[in-house]
Amino acid sequence: MSRIRSKGTKPELVLRRELHRIGYRFVTNLKSLPGTPDIVFSKRKKAVLVHGCFWHSHDCKWGSAVPATNVRFWSDKRSATVLRDERKIDELQAMGWKVFTVWECQLRRPEDVMPNVVGFLGAPR
């Protein structure tokens, strides 16, 4: 299971590549902020989180998949993840950060989600 939560998972890499291509500069996995946000734009005080649909219980077909075994175990684990996400986002916002969540399924078609990300961030400088 270790690879599921590892850093630099594929959807995150897809997003990072797109952001670089457009011309954004950012840092990744900033440990000094609550929840170690995936992609951080310090000067703008904005953070982008990349969430896997299954783990973070996205309202999509991958996020609502029910595992065949250990149903209770997975549902508890995923509920805990959702609560932790909410808490970390609250903490970041309380510190004056703006937070945007990008879902794994949206990054299957990055050209569709990138306008929203750019809208959140503002134009690259």
Site residues (vs Zn ion, CB under 5 A): 53, 58, 60, 63, 103, 105
Instruction: For residue 86, give Cα distances in angstroms to 34, 39, 79, 89, 100.
Output: 11, 17, 11, 5, 12
By beta-carbon proximity to Zn ion, the closer residue of 33 and 60 is 60
Q: How far apart are CA 119 and CA 111, in angstroms?
A: 13
Taking the CA atoms of 6, 82, 33 and 17 in sequence, report the sign of the dihedral they define.
positive
Residue 13 or 27 with smaller CB distance to Zn ion: 13
Q: How far is the CB of 113 from Zn ion (least distance, A)?
A: 11
46/56 with CB nearer Zn ion: 56
CB closer to Zn ion, 41 vs 103: 103
Residue 33: CA atoms inside 13 Å, Cβ hemisphere, count? Answer: 28
In angstroms, give the least distance from the CB of 106 to Zn ion: 7
CB of 103 to Zn ion, least distance (A): 4
Nearest one of 14, 59, 23, 65 to 41, comparing CA atoms: 23
Measured from the CB of residue 54, what is the shortest distance to Zn ion in angstroms?
8
